Structure 1
Amino acid sequence: MTDITASPYVRQDIVAERPAPVKTTGFVGLMRSRLFNSPTNILLTILGALLLWYTVIPSITFLFVDAVWTGKDRTACLPEKAGFVVGACWPYIQAKLPQLMYGFYPEAERWRVNLTFLLAAVLLVPMLIPRLPAKGLNSGLFFVAFPVVAFFLLRGGGITGFGVSWTAGLLQLVDDSVISAGQALLNLSKSSAIGPLLWIIGQFITVVGTAIQWLIFPLTWLRDMIQSSSQPVWGDFAVTAVIVTLLVFWLRGGLRTGWRALVPSIVTFIGIAIVIKLMALDKGGLPIVDTRLWGGLLVTLVVSVAGIVTSMPIGIALALGRRSTIPLIRLFSIAYIEFWRGVPLITVLFFATYMLPLFLPGNFTVDGLVRALIGIALFTGAYQAENIRGGLAAIPRGQGEAASALGLSWWKTTSLIVLPQALRHVIPNLVNSFISLFKDTSLVSIVALFDLLGSLRASFADPVWTTPSTAFTGFAFTGVIYFIFCFGISRYSLFVERRLNAHSRN
């Protein structure tokens, strides 16, 4: 047998080791492939490092290394008293933190603000987690029940009549008007040439008025019976519960399917009754705290959240109105959007606070904070309308045509097919508007509302904490708060965007 090792085609020595492959992962790989892979990137890396060196390092030194952490007044933060270079004056933040959080809200009542924040977190966090069930109930509690509870918690006061006395009064007014109209026609029929016809119409209207009387009688009897043994508010509350429950029962299909809505309606009113009793709203409620005493982070969150929540339905309605085929609705939407987009927010706030009361009747007043909220909602709604209109324009016409071919109405096509896709397309634009609104709440300080920045500037007037580093420390602290909220909104929007677009990824 031939020895293959003696063949000239077989290598006799060991192959030398090849050099290790260039590392493209980790920190070294990042530097080699991204930071120093070309002359341009080398220059940019050096400039970025210098920028960080001259900005981040001094900031960290000011906020932590040279900072003063303990002290009772400004003397602890003065360089000549401390004996070294003084950075951030954190004792000032500790002393003014209640003012930055609550403004001038009475100290004894600040538990109400804390409870409101806690309820908001308890309702908001489960709604933001996609896998948790009962999203409909959670949304209803957050967007409907929570604002009412928060209003009575923050402002205080009780309820008188619970708003149902107007319902019974309206029914009584309709009853009286119908019967009066029927009697007038009967009297007119005696001397008119078409008397028989007027007599028939008058008799019919009188019968309708009598039926309304019989319809109102059980509600009036129930209200009077409960009021005779308890507070007047509970009689009106019972009438409200009965009327709303019957309306829900009728709107959901009556005997055929409406009975399914009876239990949720009854449970809802039982929950409202429990809240009224716990908060003593039937006996005057909590002490009233005027909104002029609100301030700090409380006002910032109230204004921003109320503006975000109320501007969305306004924007959706205007976006659909601008695309409407009805000329009157389309022209109104266009005029509204162009008007509010052409006016600065500061002008809107000034007009809503100082000019609007001049156009109202003398005995009609609107709270200053409510006026600012209305102005912000109307202003932001115009911008949201254009964002949403861009999403609507991105939806192919075939989507609506396919829905029409399946027999869906315009409302179902818009709410179930077109609008969800449009909102998914404009999530970045909507979130950008939300973040901008959250930061623009600082403008309410021009109308005597002390938000977070307004409370910070007000704290500078305290001579006990007047130091060279006080202002820098305060603005750095509030800047961190704004960054935390804005960054959290941005990150969550990216999460929602990736989740909604998961089906379109390859």
Structure 2
Amino acid sequence: MVASTRNAPFVRAEILPPLPAPVSENTVSGWIKTNLLATPKDVLLTILALAVLVWTVPGIINWLFIQASWTGSDRSVCATIVQGGAQPDGWSGACWAFVSDRFQQFMFGRYPIDQRWRPLLVAVMFIALLTPLLIPKAPHKGLNALALFVIFPVVAFFLLHGGFGLRVVQTSLWGGLMVTLILSFVGIAVSLPVGIVLALGRRSNMPVIRTACITFIEVIRGVPMITVLFMANVMLPLFLPTGWTVDNFVRALVGVAIFSSAYMAEVIRGGLQAIPKGQYEGADSLGLSYWQKTLLIVMPQALRLVIPGIVNTFIGLFKDTSLVSIIGMFDLLGIVRLNFTDASWASPVTPLTGLIFAGFVFWIFCFGMSRYSGFMERHLDTGHKR
């Protein structure tokens, strides 16, 4: 029996004509149409943005590259007055000769020149161990992690500091990007496991453990990192037996690790609270112990959910290492600023060029961490949000 269409509000009497295939966003034209020209408002904003770029970019390129000084051994190559042109009666372009001349110092600080093969060897070992750990399909992850987080720090310490026949290099001579990377690596390697323990302790049913973790987290998060560094530098020796001393660099490492662990704990706790209650109940129904439930069921899901927060904490830690200059350590930014006082390179464009170089190095590392976190999110995505 054919259904009646008399009371239907609308019945199509003809077949729709074929429509053109949708524009793919994978093409350049499709991306432009979707993201830049989708609405009149988008078109207006795109035009304004292009106008700003046309107005600013040529001058920036001219200053950074065209009129820049690339070689030289003193400020004379960077102190030239430009008459007329794009920069009338102004100073010359960027002084990349300053960066080139002091590049090794920016990397290693005052580390002895004849011994700089040692931090280079440590850097090669670090890259060789870190690369397979970051590749999801690389085998032997457990051995790789053991080598990177247990064996490598010991070997790196003796290579950088000395011993076993190597000349001792005091940490007061360390500086530059080397110090930034060491502080960041130690802070990251310590903050993640300690943060997990603190997060679990804050959610513990035992009042003593829960109160201790809450007190530690809230006290550390309630003060600036500079305060924590000062406390580590001044108060840490007071808790040691008489006659014992702690190197200033070790004090900075302790301060950075303590500060980052408190922030990491709250990030991890947010992931634990996002896990549905059914996951806990399902693990209990299988007869799993607390640690089996936590390590095998809950924690992997929680860490996956808070990857952006974890990486954001890592990025903040990497940038905050510049604060160690307050206690006499010179990281990349600190050693760059220290060289501004050198009379042989005193020039109006030298400080700006040095800061641009330091900012670009920080951006490279932070952008790399950000992109890798995005890759891991996509790799570990199992449709939880769908």
| TM-fit CA distance, 1:338 | 0.7
User: Distance between the aligned counterparts of 1:312 and 1:29, measured in 2?
Assistant: 41
- Residues in 1 aligned to 2:149 and 2:45: alpha-carbon distance in whole angstroms: 48
Question: Relative to 1, partners in 2 of residues 1:62 and 1:333: Cα closer, same or farther, differing over 3 Å?
Answer: same
- C-alpha distance in 2, partners of 1:368/1:493? 33
Return the match for 2:201 from 321, 327, 340. Answer: 321
Equivalent residues of 1:76, 1:82 under 8 A apart: no
Native 8 Å contact 1:24 1:33 kept in 2: no
Task: Determine the C-alpha separation between the residues in 1 that align with 2:22 and 2:237.
Answer: 73
- Which digits, 9 at most, give the CA deviation of each residue in 1:88-143, with x for residues without a partner? 11111111001100001011111000000000001111111111211111111001
Q: Which amino acid letter does the alignment assign opposite residue 108 of structure 2?
A: Y
Q: Residue 426 of structure 1 corresponds to which residue in structure 2?
A: 306
Compared CA separation, residues 116 and 32, structure 1 to 2 (3 A):
closer
Q: Which string of whole-angstrom CA distances, capped at 9 and with x for unpartnered residues, describes residues 249-282 of structure 1?
A: xxxxxxxxxxxxxxxxxxxxxxxxxxxxxxxx2x
Contact 1:307-1:373 within 8 A present in 2 as well: yes
Q: List gaps (5 residues or longer) in structure 1.
A: 1-17, 158-280
Deviation at 1:82, TM superposition (A): 10
Letter in 2 for 1:95: D
C-alpha spacing 1:31/1:420, structure 2 compared with 1 (3 Å): closer
Helix, strand or coil at the partner of 1:460: helix
Q: Is 1:101 aligned to residue 92 of structure 2?
A: no
Structure 2 residues without counterparts, runs of 5 or longer: 1-17
Distance 1:24 1:394 in 2: 35
Within 5 Å, give how 1:168-247 maps onto structure 2: none
The answer to whether 1:481 aligns with 2:369 is: no
CA distance in 2, matches of 1:24, 1:305: 42
Matching residue of 1:47: 48
User: Could you say what secondary structure the match of 1:63 adopts?
Assistant: helix
Corresponding residue for residue 3 of structure 2? none
Alignment of 1:270-419 (within 5 A): 281=164, 285-419=165-299
What is the alpha-carbon distance in structure 1 between the residues aligned to residue 35 and residue 314 of structure 2?
34
Q: Against the structure 1 CA distance between its residues 333 and 116, is the aligned structure 2 distance closer, same or farther, given a 3 Å change threshold?
A: same
Contact 1:104/1:293 (CA < 8 Å) preserved in 2?
Answer: yes
Alpha-carbon distance in 1 for matches of 2:157, 2:101:
28
* Aligned mate of 1:115, from 116, 121, 125: 121
Q: 2:334 aligned with 1:459, yes or no?
A: no
Q: Cα deviation per residue 1:455-479 (whole Å; 9 max; x = unaligned)? A: 0011111111111211111111111
Greater mean deviation of Cα atoms: 330-339 or 35-44: 35-44
RMSD: 2.3
Residues 43 and 414 (structure 1), Cα distance of their counterparts in 2 relative to 1, 3 Å cut: same
Partner of 1:58: 59
Percent identity between matched residues is 53
Contact 1:337 1:382 in 2 (8 A): yes
**Residue 156 of structure 2 aligns with which residue?**
150
Give 1:28 deviation, angstroms. 4.6
> Do 2:162 and 2:169's aligned partners in 1 also have CA atoms closer than 8 Å?
yes
In 1, Cα distance between equivalents of 2:289 and 2:160: 43
Give the equivalent residue in structure 2 for 1:140. Answer: 146
SS of equivalent residue, structure 1 residue 70: coil
In structure 2, distance between residues paired with 1:34 and 1:322 = 44
Instruction: Say whether the 8 Å CA contact 1:75–1:81 is kept in structure 2.
Output: no
Flag the 1:64–1:419 CA change in 2: closer, same or farther, 3 A. same
Per-residue CA deviations over 1:7-27 (Å, capped at 9, x if unaligned) read xxxxxxxxxxx9999977655
Aligned to 1:267: none
- Which residue is 2:378 aligned to? 498
Are residue 76 (structure 1) and residue 77 (structure 2) matched?
yes
Largest Rg, 1 or 2: 1
C-alpha distance in 1 between matches for 2:283 and 2:22? 56
**Which letter maps to 1:140?**
L
Q: Judge which range, 82-91 or 392-401, deviates more.
A: 82-91
Instruction: Go from structure 1 to structure 2 and tell me whether the alpha carbon gap of 1:82 and 1:459 turns closer, same or farther (over 3 Å shift).
Output: farther
TM-score w.r.t. length of structure 2? 0.88
Aligned residues, how many? 363
SS at match of 1:299: helix
More off after superposition, 294-303 vs 81-90: 81-90
TM-score by length of structure 1 reads 0.68
Q: Report the CA distance shift for 1:21/1:288 in structure 2 as closer, same or farther (over 3 A).
A: closer
Which structure is higher in helix share? 1
Match of 2:135 among 124, 129, 136: 129
CA distance in 1, matches of 2:365, 2:320: 13
1:56 deviates by: 3.4
Q: CA separation in 1, counterparts of 2:41 and 2:306?
A: 35
| Contact 2:275-2:301 within 8 A present in 1 as well | yes
Counterparts of 1:82 and 1:286, CA distance in 2 = 55
Question: 2: CA distance between counterparts of 1:29 and 1:408?
Answer: 51
